[in-house]
């Protein structure tokens, strides 16, 4: 099996994904490049943001065809950011349209991250502070992600940053006040969230509730890989 992942950028998800794959699909190993992929390998590359990722998709698809690479899955993961539901649908249609331009033999998999990778990470109920301190009080008062779906959270009206940035700041504050111990989180050093136990808590939530719909699409895909190895 050969799986190619094209992520929107080279931030935290790019760093964490190999650790999660090692946990869920240990039969896959990381390849050094498209031309070096062999049986049961995967490759992760960046699309360098949106809309540049669309051009990177086309270039990669053409490389796969020109070199007759026997790929099984081409996976695209991207942030929905501030998109409305209609805008999300339109963007996903745009990704599918790129694949439809070519005669491909592998399966395209398109996974939105609503709103961003940090939104998924907010789904770990075990990390939610039991004692709401001053540093976390404003976040808790605005939206309790341990009780309500993180993908439904927006940002306060007076917040000057983007919705994704608010989710990022929320996660930082949550992990610093976590009952599991103080954890520092940054996009360049996600560390704690790459652990198998962190992933398992997210998986538990989507198995128990209807929350984190976009993460569930990702989770189901990974377990589908596991069953085929």
Positive or negative torsion for Cα 26, 29, 30, 34: negative
- Mean pLDDT in the chain? 96
pLDDT tens track for 122-173? 999 999 999 888 889 999 999 999 999 999 999 999 999 999 999 999 999 9
Stated pTM of the model: 0.96
CA distance 46 to 220: 22
Q: Which helix (H) or strand (E) holds 53?
A: helix 52-66
CATH number of 2-115+212-228: 3.40.50
User: What 3 state SS string does 124-164 have?
Assistant: CHHHCCCCCCHHHHHHHHHCCCCCCCHHHCCCCCCCCCCHH
Q: Distance between CA atoms of 19 and 197, rounded to whole angstroms? A: 11
Residues written for the chain: 229
Per-residue confidence band for 6, with pLDDT thresholds at 50, 70 and 90: very high
Q: Specify the DSSP class assigned to residue 184.
A: -
Every domain range in the chain assigned CATH 3.40.50:
2-115+212-228
Contact status, residue 116 vs residue 161, Cβ threshold 8 Å: no
Which pLDDT value is given to residue 180? 83
pLDDT, tens only, 33-55? 999 999 999 999 999 999 999 99
What whole-number distance in Å separates Cα of residue 177 and Cα of residue 199? 19
pLDDT in tens, 102-135: 999 999 999 999 999 999 999 999 999 998 888 8
**C-alpha–C-alpha distance, residues 163 and 226, integer Å:** 33
Q: Please give the structure tokens belonging to residue 218.
A: 């990702």
Task: Give the C-alpha distances (Å, rounded to integers) separating 111 from 27, 135, 196.
Answer: 22, 33, 21
């Amino acid at each position: 099996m050969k799986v190619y992942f094209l992520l929107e950028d080279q931030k935290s998800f790019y760093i964490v994904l190999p650790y999660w794959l090692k946990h869920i699909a240990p039969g896959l190993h990381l390849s050094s490049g498209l031309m070096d992929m062999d049986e049961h390998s995967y490759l992760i590359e960046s699309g360098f943001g949106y809309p540049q990722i669309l051009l990177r998709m086309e270039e990669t698809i053409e490389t796969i065809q020109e070199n007759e690479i026997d790929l099984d899955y081409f996976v695209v993961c991207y942030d929905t950011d501030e998109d409305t539901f209609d805008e999300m649908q339109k963007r996903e249609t745009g990704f599918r349209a790129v694949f439809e331009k070519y005669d491909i033999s592998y399966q395209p998999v398109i996974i939105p991250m609503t709103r961003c990778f940090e939104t998924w990470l907010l789904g770990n109920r075990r990390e939610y502070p039991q004692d709401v301190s001053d540093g976390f009080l404003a976040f808790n008062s605005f939206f309790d992600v341990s009780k309500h779906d993180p993908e439904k959270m927006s940002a306060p009206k007076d917040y000057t940053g983007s919705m994704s940035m608010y989710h990022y700041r929320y996660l930082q504050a949550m992990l610093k006040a976590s009952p599991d111990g103080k954890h520092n989180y940054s996009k360049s050093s996600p560390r704690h969230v790459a652990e198998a136990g962190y992933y398992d808590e997210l998986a538990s939530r989507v198995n128990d509730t209807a929350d984190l719909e976009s993460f569930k699409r990702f989770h189901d895909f990974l377990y589908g890989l596991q069953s085929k190895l």
